[in-house]
Amino acid sequence: MARGVRRLDFSGRVKARLRALRSQLGRPTLVIDTVRDANATLDPQQVATWLVRQADAWIPAPCWAVVAPDLAGQLTVLADKGLGPALGPSVSGVARWVTEQRVELMAANLAKDPRLDGGVVGTALAFPLNARSRTVGVLVGLDPRPSAAAPALGSTVLTTLRMVLEPVAIALDNALTLQRAEALSVTDDLTGLSNSRYLNLVLRREEKRSVRSGRPLSLLFIDMDGFKNVNTDHGHLAGSKALVEVAAVIRTCARETDVVARFGGDEFAVILPDTGREGAMFVAERICERLRRFRFLESDGFGLHLTASIGVATLPDVTGSAEELLLAADRAMYRVKDSGKNGILMAERGT
């Protein structure tokens, strides 16, 4: 860069690009092309990735991100370009404000902007993705450096961008709605764990992967001991709350790659990919120990102690099929029940 030539800040670069942006947004087929491209997939991450690329073609920025609520209603990044850990709080803060206010946010210096809390930096240019009278996501552009003034697009460009982003928002809303429906179809309503339908789907998938790779696959089948007494002594609402607590304890014992499911009633299962007998027994022992120590329904003044019976089965040691693996673990669990409960048994071939 020649001496005496000052590098434009982000707002300055936006201003310098307005003529080219008007030309891009003035294409007669722009809306038609946008509708076609945004609806080319029903995967929300892919819709968001397309929008990030498109936004960066319109207005190049160090960081672009699409943020939307996840299944729990928490804002999460669906796709991004240039989003490092340092900019994460800024993207989250901007997205939260835009979601609440449902209007664009254009800020010269987030660190000094009274609309946002602390921990945010840089210049921001953000758009709500509004569909069906709701804000379904936010498109956030950031430069980590502050600018002398807030980015300004002008009323004509801003109106056109709103018009173009509306069909994108509808496409994203459709994709997110489908994703949520699919997730609910494989999720247990009470505990939030996977349900038995998803358990069987994953077991068949992991069986094929195990056979193909030669890696072991283990399954834990867990039954809470005497759980019907919780319902009898404290009521079904207390029993339901205790099951939620059981699910939470088991989940803390599993890895991210494991699948924890509620099989039904007070029965649970854990799929352990790439895990042999020793590893599976270690996880089972950890679950048993944490369940024993946990004080269930303590917030309700009970502080109950519960135990579990666990059957463990490993492929290919016990069997070669997912269906038989589940049956073997189930049979092992019932043998624990018959021998006094509160224990673990590894299934063996032929038993």
In a domain, 189, yes or no: no
Q: Is the dihedral of CA 322, 328, 329, 334 positive or negative?
A: positive
CATH code assigned at 225:
3.30.70.270
- Assess whether 327 and 261 both reside in one domain: yes
Determine the structural domain holding residue 221 and report its residue range. 196-346
- Assess whether 161 and 303 both reside in one domain: no
Q: How many domains does the chain have?
A: 2
- Assess whether 149 and 39 both reside in one domain: yes
In a domain, 351, yes or no: no
pLDDT (tens place) for every residue of the chain, 351 residues total = 444 446 899 999 999 999 999 999 999 999 999 999 999 999 999 999 999 999 999 999 999 999 999 877 889 999 999 999 999 999 999 999 999 999 999 999 999 999 998 889 999 999 999 998 999 999 999 999 999 999 999 999 999 999 999 999 999 999 999 988 877 788 898 999 999 989 998 999 999 989 888 999 999 999 999 999 999 999 999 999 999 999 999 999 999 899 999 999 999 999 999 999 999 999 999 999 999 999 999 999 999 999 999 999 999 988 878 889 999 999 999 999 999 999 999 999 866
In a domain, 147, yes or no: yes
In a domain, 3, yes or no: no
CATH code assigned at 88:
3.30.450.40
In a domain, 2, yes or no: no
Q: Which two tokens stand for residue 302?
A: 């009970």
pTM of the full structure: 0.65
Burial track 64-92 (b if 16+ CB lie within 10 A, e otherwise): bbbbbbeeeeebebbbbbbbeeebebbbb
Q: Which two tokens stand for residue 163?
A: 């018009």
- Assess whether 177 and 208 both reside in one domain: no
Instruction: Specify the pLDDT at position 7.
Output: 84
Q: Which two tokens stand for residue 28?
A: 């007669």
- Assess whether 46 and 135 both reside in one domain: yes
Considering 162, 184, 206, which residue would you say is the last residue of a domain? 184
- Assess whether 33 and 127 both reside in one domain: yes
Give alpha helix (H) positions in the chain: 10-25, 30-38, 44-58, 88-101, 155-185, 196-213, 228-234, 236-252, 277-293, 322-338
Neighbours of 232 (CB within 10 A): 11
- The 3-state DSSP class for residue 192 equals coil
Strand 343-346 to strand 308-315: parallel, antiparallel, or no bridges (unpaired)? parallel
